[in-house]
Structure 1
Amino acid sequence: MAKERTDDNPKSPEEIQDRIWELIEKIDIGMFTTWDGEQQHSRPLSARVRRDEHAVHFLVDVDGDKNGQVEHFPSVSCAWADNSHYKYVLIAGTARLTNDRAKIAELWSDFDKAWWDDATDPSIRLLTLTPENGELWDSPGKAVALAKMVVAAVTGSAPQMGDHAKVSL
């Protein structure tokens, strides 16, 4: 596993991978970014994290520009942010749109009723992101981050804000 060390990160690539999977599941809503051939487009989507499948699934509507964008340009990224705790994750990989009714039914939750009546709605599609690499910014928390910024402002040095690393997924 390739890992880029930044800020002298002491964690192993496996520990960073674990943390990335943990945070994307915890944060849930990610900004899913596609390309249309001219510009990027991002939109919030609720993640269904399945590390054992090496996949992040999203339920999406059959209508939507992202579907055609994914079909023509399957290289995508998704970013998750927990601003209150200064934790951020980015994964990039390949996306695929399917009409896998069994998987849609498996992933269905009551929260999806905001968009569709039930899992049998024929307009639901499955968007699957297969991660290839990830990046993590993992601060020890707001209070510690603020204290480090104050110290940095007083001393004139750059604050060490927590773990930052890139890994292959």
Structure 2
Amino acid sequence: METTEDLMGKEAIDKIAKLLANNKLAMMATKLDSMPFSVCPMTTQEIDSNGKLWFFTGKDSEHYRELQKDKRLHLTYANQGDQEYLSIYGKAKITENRQKIDELWSSFLEVWFSGKDDPNLALLCVTIEDAYYWDQKHNKAVTIFKMAKSAITGEKSDTNDQGTLNIK
């Protein structure tokens, strides 16, 4: 059995931050008007206090060029180990804000960029327009036990939360 819990404002931002704490890897889909979508993995750098998501990107990437034409994107996160899932639809703004680059920069990014002054470096700032989550209430062992008990007894078991996340 699922419990629907729709969250708004700061509660929604806090829930997204909690879901991203253990899983910053998203699959980002662009070119949403054509099939197949263009999809690539992206690492979330931050969800800020306003609920905006931040990513580093290369100006030479396909998704960078696509987002210059159409700002819409879809992000999906899956943390299978903790049974946490998040779907986000939003719009990206491309920026080269030096202060934000300095704030978010990590030496791990040098795998893709030659430092924070790399002329190919840019940031994506995603404004969330629609989000939905699925989250197990209990750890995996408890969830499996509850599901097995439900299968044996026929009683419904409350194993996860789900709902919309509205940050506006």
TM-score bin, normalised by smaller chain: 0.7 to 0.9
Q: Is the 8 A contact 2:5 2:162 kept in 1?
A: no
CA separation in 2, counterparts of 1:132 and 1:162? Answer: 24
Q: Is the 8 A contact 2:94 2:125 kept in 1?
A: yes
Partner of 1:130: 127
CA separation in 2, counterparts of 1:58 and 1:116? Answer: 13
Name the Cα RMSD after superposition. 2.3
CA separation in 2, counterparts of 1:10 and 1:123? Answer: 41
Matches within 5 A, 1:52-91: 52-91=49-88
Q: Classify the secondary structure of the residue corresponding to 2:115.
A: coil
Partner of 1:23: 19
Partner of 2:29: 33
Determine which of 100, 104, 113 is the counterpart of 1:103: 100
Structure 2 residue 136 is matched with structure 1 residue 120: no
Letter in 2 for 1:87: E
Q: Is the 8 A contact 2:31 2:70 kept in 1?
A: yes
Q: Classify the secondary structure of the residue corresponding to 1:84.
A: coil
Looking at secondary structure, tell me which structure has more helix per residue: 1
CA separation in 2, counterparts of 1:11 and 1:75? Answer: 23
**C-alpha offsets along residues 87-123 of structure 1, whole Å, 9 cap, x if unaligned?**
1112211112223333222211011011112101111
CA separation in 1, counterparts of 2:15 and 2:148? Answer: 27
Determine which of 152, 155, 161 is the counterpart of 1:154: 152
Partner of 1:48: 45
- Identity percentage of aligned residues: 25
CA separation in 1, counterparts of 2:163 and 2:62? Answer: 32
Q: How has the CA–CA distance of structure 1 residues 120 and 10 changed in structure 2, closer, same or farther, with 3 Å as cutoff?
A: closer
CA separation in 1, counterparts of 2:7 and 2:124? Answer: 30
Q: How has the CA–CA distance of structure 1 residues 166 and 10 changed in structure 2, closer, same or farther, with 3 Å as cutoff?
A: closer
**C-alpha offsets along residues 52-88 of structure 1, whole Å, 9 cap, x if unaligned?**
2431111111111101221222121211211111011
Partner of 1:141: 139
Q: How has the CA–CA distance of structure 1 residues 17 and 104 changed in structure 2, closer, same or farther, with 3 Å as cutoff?
A: closer
Q: How has the CA–CA distance of structure 1 residues 161 and 60 changed in structure 2, closer, same or farther, with 3 Å as cutoff?
A: same
Moved >6 Å (runs of 4+)? none
Q: TM-score, normalised by structure 2?
A: 0.84
